Structure 1
Amino acid sequence: MHHKLLIIGAGAAGLVAAVTAKDQGIDAAILERNDRIGKKILMTGDGRCNITNESTATGAEDELAALSGKFHSNQAGFPVSVLKQLGIRQTIDFFSGLGLPLTKLKEGMMYPMSLQAASVLDIFQLALEDRDVPVYFNTIVEDVIVRAEHPRFTVVCKVVTEEVEEQAVYTSDYLFLCTGGLTAPSSGTDGSGYTLAERLGHTLIDPVPAIVQLKVQYANMKQLSGIKLQGKAHIQVNGEVVRSESGEIHFSESGLSGPPVLQLGRNAAYHLARRDAVSVIVDLMPGRTEEELVDFLEIHWGIFGHRTVVDSFIGIFHKKLVPVLLKEAGIDQQPYLLCQDLSWKTKKKFYRILKHWEFIVTDTNGFANAHATAGGIDTTELIEGTLESKLVPGLYLAGEVMDVDGDFGGYNLQWAWSSGYVAAIALAKQISEGKNK
């Protein structure tokens, strides 16, 4: 079976690439290892699919500057060459053109109006059917053979169904790798795209989990489990803070989570891989400086000196948090200690804990629980602004397979939409100009 363009992977990047390519008049088809499209999309945004984030969309130049800080790559600035071609506004228009209106919830996060990830898949399924784009399901790509002449690519596959397992061979003039990274392996993202790209001469930057919960070493985590609080988290590496994030921090029996901690996950993962000393410093009172905190508690304890220390924290901290704070301050054996009897030494312990509570990070929760993959195919081997391989003419990469990852809040899906679109537009331009015939 021959097609002008073969797209490996019917995830977010592959779906946008297929629709865009066909709209540009390119005969495109998708090879998908699962029995349906977009399986991983169903898992995003707690089943609602956080399509993008409008909080940065304040104007063309401002948006691009804001967006550039939301994406990470070993090649700084590489994502910008893609995002300036399909940014937030264009993404909203793209989905509107498919018949999927979006709605904005907290912190600029945008979802399908139905608040169902399944709606995104349904719309893409309709879009593929409207354009007669074939999708070959249950098709696992085992090898790619490249020739100098057309058809340039021969893709050797294994088709696996309940009834049969057989080999299938497809040929194409152009090939897109949209295979994803290593997150959510239950959806079929097993890193096979890395293997294919490496066989074709590309370099893999070791992948690590990103946007991921952190496991910590702390004796009283079980007591803290279930607590959610507004705070600030700092990731500290070898004694130096390298990034800070604010928001709702979640405590579990094994570690820390919540948006601020998830944002710090990639930093922790990279430094743990290098065997650096990694810890999270939690600020329980981010709205006050250390001096303001001292003044607040001194006045509070002064007014309510007749109350116990335990009672003095009512309404300030989560009830489950207080016994642990007392342990940290070393007065857990004095449950009836009055505020007026607090020593200056104990007060200083409280001040330190409330602004600099340290948790030693031992690991992340791994790819199975991560929202994104950091690392991937080295972007220096791709042409900026087109995503075509510098090593293999006619080969393009899109989505998570390359070394680009975004922050929490819809940015990784934004990268998938943008890169899939840009690769398809670049290919259409290449074909129209008669290059690489």
Structure 2
Amino acid sequence: MMFDTIILGAGAAGLMCSAHCGGRTLVIDHAKAPGEKIRISGGGRCNFTNLYAGPSNFLSKNPHFCKSALARYTQWDFIDLVDQHGIAWHEKTLGQLFCDGSSKQIMSMLLAEMERAGALLWLQTSVRGLRKLETGFALDVEKDGQSHSLICRNLVLATGGKSIPKMGASGLAYDIARQFGLNVTDTRAALVPFTFTDGRFKELSGVSLPVRLSNQRSSFDEALLFTHRGLSGPAVLQLSSYWREGEPICVNLLADLPLVDILRRDRQASGRKALTTELAKHLPARLVEHLSRSINMQGNLADQSDAALWSLADTLSNWQLTPSGTEGYRTAEVTLGGIDTDGLSSKTMEAKEVPGLYAIGEAVDVTGWLGGYNFQWAWSSGYAAGTAIAARQPTTL
């Protein structure tokens, strides 16, 4: 069977690409249903993009690589598409956009766009062999127990990274890239919770509060959540992309809270109250109790000098912790690293040395922040590859 384009992966990037390739296009995926990450994202409402998406929100060995695709298909373009399909949406914090209804609406939209373009979708299909032809590629695949030999001019790698293997994630795109001589940067789990092997935060499991979480590379002002295994929440997931094993992190529990001014005022009005009681008005009570075992919080407010209050505030603003590790790919939202952008065109996503081979989405060494940025990269890179393929599509194979 012959196709103009075969796309490996029916996730966000692959489906977006299929809607723009033109010609005879086939999308292949091993899963029972397309877009599983889309379906579960955003608590089932799909955080489909971010109002503030731009190059500064992405990590890559080459921070300039993402600029071209993001500029040619922006968050506003995707919002227009969502609006055209009559999908109601709303903004949450920090520019994050979600469906009012269900993430299934985004899936239905993408499938409708794919079908409008005339692309075919084969699910529960596995790639058994792949080789380069003089002008294109030959694939051996298995679908419904039957073997098929396929030929295509263009092959698009859109199988994502290693994150959440229980959903079928694998390093297939990396293996194929290496097969054709492309480099793959070191990969690791990103947007992932931190773990502490000593179980120190079990008693705080479920406690959440806004913090400023930082290391030497970056800083995020968002919520932190204590878990029975360690630390999670948006601030933690964000910083995990900038963290290396063995490094300390700094938790500022006060962020912009003027604690000294507040406690000095309360000292005048309520000096007989315990310091811990007053602190519990501004920090979770369970956290105050936990911290009081290692930080001097004894006595009433009236007993605290200005120097003591400043020392306490400094300690709470610079809580140094060293995670044992992360939850790994098991719960990571994305994979950091991937197919080296040095081997790809930033305008078309095509491999510079392998004509007809493209890589898009999470498979590429471009990783976004938490909050809809990785979906925007999927839309932008998928569009870039799809329109590039369409621009040189022959009328017949």
Give the TM-score band, short-chain normalised: over 0.9
CA contact (8 A) 2:4 2:25 kept: yes
Corresponding position of 2:364: 402
Q: Report matched runs for 1:37-56 at 5 Å.
A: 37-54=34-51, 56=52
SS in structure 2 at match of 1:317: coil
SS in structure 2 at match of 1:20: coil
SS in structure 1 at match of 2:362: helix
Change (3 A) 1:406 1:344: same
Cα RMSD after superposing both structures: 2.3
Corresponding position of 1:280: 249
Q: Please give the TM-score of this superposition, normalised by the length of structure 1.
A: 0.85
What amino acid does structure 1 have at the position aligned with 2:191?
A: I
Deviations 1:232-270 (A, max 9, x none): 1112xxxxx2211002111112211111111111111xx
1:413 CA drift (Å): 0.5
Residue 185 of structure 2 is aligned to residue 205 of structure 1 = yes
Looking at structure 1, the residues matched to 253 and 13 of structure 2 have their Cα atoms a distance apart, in angstroms, of 39
SS in structure 2 at match of 1:377: coil
Corresponding position of 1:13: 13
Corresponding position of 1:429: 391
SS in structure 1 at match of 2:380: helix
Change (3 A) 1:317 1:112: closer
Which of 116, 120, 137 is equivalent to 1:134? 120
SS in structure 2 at match of 1:21: coil
Residue 69 of structure 2 is aligned to residue 82 of structure 1 = yes
Q: Report matched runs for 1:368-407 at 5 Å.
A: 368-407=330-369
Looking at structure 2, the residues matched to 44 and 339 of structure 1 have their Cα atoms a distance apart, in angstroms, of 46
What amino acid does structure 1 have at the position aligned with 2:141?
A: C
What amino acid does structure 1 have at the position aligned with 2:214?
A: H
SS in structure 1 at match of 2:147: strand
Residue 279 of structure 2 is aligned to residue 313 of structure 1 = yes
Looking at structure 1, the residues matched to 60 and 41 of structure 2 have their Cα atoms a distance apart, in angstroms, of 22
Aligned pair count reads: 397
Looking at structure 1, the residues matched to 130 and 236 of structure 2 have their Cα atoms a distance apart, in angstroms, of 39
Corresponding position of 1:249: 224
SS in structure 2 at match of 1:206: coil
Which of 134, 153, 170 is equivalent to 2:137? 153
Deviations 1:148-173 (A, max 9, x none): 13xx11012233x4xxx343221101
Looking at structure 2, the residues matched to 219 and 177 of structure 1 have their Cα atoms a distance apart, in angstroms, of 40
SS in structure 1 at match of 2:290: helix
Residue 323 of structure 2 is aligned to residue 326 of structure 1 = no
Deviations 1:11-32 (A, max 9, x none): 101101111123xxx2111111
SS in structure 2 at match of 1:204: coil
Q: Report matched runs for 1:342-361 at 5 Å.
A: 342=304, 347=309, 349-361=311-323
CA contact (8 A) 1:32 1:139 kept: yes
What amino acid does structure 2 have at the position aligned with 1:89?
A: W
SS in structure 2 at match of 1:156: strand
Corresponding position of 1:60: none
1:403 CA drift (Å): 0.2
Corresponding position of 1:61: none
Corresponding position of 2:58: 71
Q: Report matched runs for 1:119-268 at 5 Å.
A: 119-149=105-135, 152-159=136-143, 161=144, 165-216=145-196, 220-235=200-215, 241-268=216-243
Looking at structure 2, the residues matched to 328 and 6 of structure 1 have their Cα atoms a distance apart, in angstroms, of 59
SS in structure 2 at match of 1:328: coil
Unaligned runs of 5+ in 1: 57-65, 236-240
Corresponding position of 1:59: none
CA contact (8 A) 1:217 1:359 kept: no
1:432 CA drift (Å): 6.4
CA contact (8 A) 2:19 2:116 kept: no
Looking at structure 2, the residues matched to 301 and 167 of structure 1 have their Cα atoms a distance apart, in angstroms, of 78
SS in structure 2 at match of 1:171: strand
Unaligned runs of 5+ in 2: none
1:41 CA drift (Å): 1.2
CA contact (8 A) 1:99 1:123 kept: no
What amino acid does structure 2 have at the position aligned with 1:168?
A: H
Q: Please give the TM-score of this superposition, normalised by the length of structure 2.
A: 0.93
SS in structure 1 at match of 2:285: coil
Change (3 A) 1:262 1:120: same
Looking at structure 1, the residues matched to 2 and 83 of structure 2 have their Cα atoms a distance apart, in angstroms, of 32
Residue 381 of structure 2 is aligned to residue 419 of structure 1 = yes
CA contact (8 A) 1:3 1:171 kept: yes
What amino acid does structure 2 have at the position aligned with 1:154?
A: A
Corresponding position of 1:62: none
Percent identity over the alignment? 29
What amino acid does structure 1 have at the position aligned with 2:284?
A: H
Change (3 A) 1:103 1:304: closer
1:89 CA drift (Å): 0.9
- Structure number with greater CO (CA < 8 Å, separation at least 6) is 2
